[in-house]
Amino acid sequence: MTSKKIQNFTIKFFQNLKASLERGGDILIVKDVPSDFEKFSRRSSPYFLVFDEKKMTGKTELIAKGSSLLKSMTDYVSDSGSATILRIKFEADAGNVFKGHLNFIDCRVDSSIKKQKNNFFSRFTIQSTFQYLNKRDQIINVIHVHNGKIVDGDLSNYPVVEGKKEDVPLEELRAEYELVKKQTKELLHEKIEEIKVILDKDLKKGTKRIKKHFDAQRNEALVSMKQDMIKIKSLAIEMTRRSGLEYDKIKRKIQRLKENIERVKKNNKADRILREEEFAITDEKHKHSLNIDNKLINTTVIYYPRFIFETKIKNNKCTAKAIFEYNPLINRLNPIVCNNCNKKTKHITLCSNGHIICPKCNNPCGDCGENYCKKCLSHECSFCTKKMCKDCKLACFKCKKVFCQNHLNSDNLSENLGCNKCLKMCPQCNTYSDKDFFKKNNANQTVCQKCVTKSNIKNLTDQIFHN
């Protein structure tokens, strides 16, 4: 690596670890290095790093080829087990959270217990190395996973501190990694296609060159055979004019040429050359293959708390329990659902039976005037149809129908409450009683049982005194 490359690698490395980086002139100051790396390198931060020997001062450390910290960094990166656990710092208290999200009408928060659960983000850093021809390209992909899904994430603006290993659900992490592998393939697709085009082009060139070479070989053999045959022809003509030693010499010459042709023929056997050619092409193809090596160089788990407020809400009539869940990362309080209409609401009121409801669903009882939800105001006077709570509903002792207190009267004998249809007002005493027991008195007036009895007694005493 060149000095510039080493510098870039170092910066990227510590950024990935979420350490804090500062520039002090030519010095790169690295602070808050996760203890995982500190332990690995056996060096505690801060580090004061320079990349040029000439820039070294007392406490600075040179990061260059062969330096021990650089070796620790490269070892740490190649160790696929490298993992960073970070926690985003969030604080929340019920009072402030509720203030921004809820409106309590005629009720207030009595108490709230805060609990917390963790939400996880994972960040996988994958280094893909492409090897082809004599080239070596490297790509680093950073993939975020949240709730089992790939997300676009950047958590760099949140205040993070080192997290705890025991807070991390490893099983989920493994499942997420499978997802990440798939995603990496997709992310590399374009680059792979790009390289394939280059390789294809180059392979075509190479194959063409090979074909040309073997065509030339085939051609060369043909040409030499042709030349030999021409020579044989002219020698055969010459031979007819010669005799004795001369004749034998030419004959031997012809023999040699014939042997030569045979040898070339043998060497030039088409299938042998074809085999060699095929072999050369296969080899060329092999040289044009693409090798991809994916390496998980870092897993960072980032988690943050989700607050659960177990809350008691009170008014002067009752208390209700509610659970509010708050996600500080997106500043979201889980919507409160009206107990009555099931619609989300920011405005909270209480039914006197302790139901949490929206103001629309909150109505006073027609009799006592206390506030209730619609479900709790389910009783209706059979006469005037006004809605009542279960404490206010009354029933006629005779017909058993429900009435409000205005539409029931007390029976003058039994004191039971009865409705206008079941009780009747007596014209003599002006009180109500069961209309079935009305009778005619001596004056031929229809009166209540009480009055009939009274008049009978009166008649009896009148008779006694009269006699």
Question: Do the Cβ atoms of 297 and 128 come closer than 8 Å?
Answer: no
- Torsion-angle region of residue 147: left (phi > 0), alpha (psi -120 to 50) or beta? left
Q: What's the closest the beta carbon of residue 463 comes to Zn ion, in angstroms?
A: 22
67-105: buried (b, 16+ CB within 10 Å) or exposed (e) per residue? Answer: eebbebbeebbeeeebbbbbbbebebebeebbeebbeee
Which amino acid, residue 190? E
Q: Smaller CB distance to Zn ion: residue 94 or 356? A: 356
Binding test (CB under 5 A) with Zn ion, winner from 127, 217, 428, 446:
428
Interaction between residue 422 and Zn ion (CB under 5 A): yes
Q: Residue 99 has which token pair?
A: 């203030």
Q: What's the closest the beta carbon of residue 433 comes to Zn ion, in angstroms?
A: 7
Closest CA to 287 of 131, 139, 128: 131
Interaction between residue 313 and Zn ion (CB under 5 A): no
Residue appearing with tokens 């389910």: 378
Binding test (CB under 5 A) with Zn ion, winner from 133, 179, 341, 413:
341
239, 242, 243, 245 alpha-carbon torsion, rounded to 10°:
-80
Q: What's the closest the beta carbon of residue 138 comes to Zn ion, in angstroms?
A: 59
Interaction between residue 426 and Zn ion (CB under 5 A): yes
Q: Smaller CB distance to Zn ion: residue 143 or 447? A: 447
What does the per-residue mask of binding to Zn ion show for 345-384, with x meaning CB under 5 A? ------x-x-x--x--x---x-xx----x--x----x-xx
Interaction between residue 43 and Zn ion (CB under 5 A): no
DSSP string, 238-297: HHHT--HHHHHHHHHHHHHHHHHHHHHHHHT-HHHHHHHHHHHHHHHHHHT--EEEEEEE
Q: What's the closest the beta carbon of residue 311 comes to Zn ion, in angstroms?
A: 18
Q: What's the closest the beta carbon of residue 359 comes to Zn ion, in angstroms?
A: 8
Name the burial class of residue 59, with classes exposed (0-12), middle (13-18) and buried (19+) by CB atoms within 10 angstroms of its CB. exposed
What does the per-residue mask of binding to Zn ion show for 378-417, with x meaning CB under 5 A? ---x-xx----x--x---x-xx----x--x----------
Q: Smaller CB distance to Zn ion: residue 216 or 384? A: 384
Phi, psi of 447 (to 5 degrees): -130, 170
Q: Smaller CB distance to Zn ion: residue 261 or 419? A: 419
Q: Which span sits near Zn ion by CB under 5 A: 103-111, 157-165, 181-189, 344-352?
A: 344-352
Q: Smaller CB distance to Zn ion: residue 329 or 402? A: 402
Interface with Zn ion in residues 429-448 (CB under 5 A):
429, 447-448
Query: Which residues, 6+ apart, have CB-to-CB distance to 323 below 8 Å?
Result: 308, 309, 310, 311
Q: Which residues bind Zn ion (CB under 5 A)?
A: 338, 340-341, 351, 353, 355, 358, 361, 365, 367-368, 373, 376, 381, 383-384, 389, 392, 396, 398-399, 404, 407, 419, 422, 426, 428-429, 447-448, 451
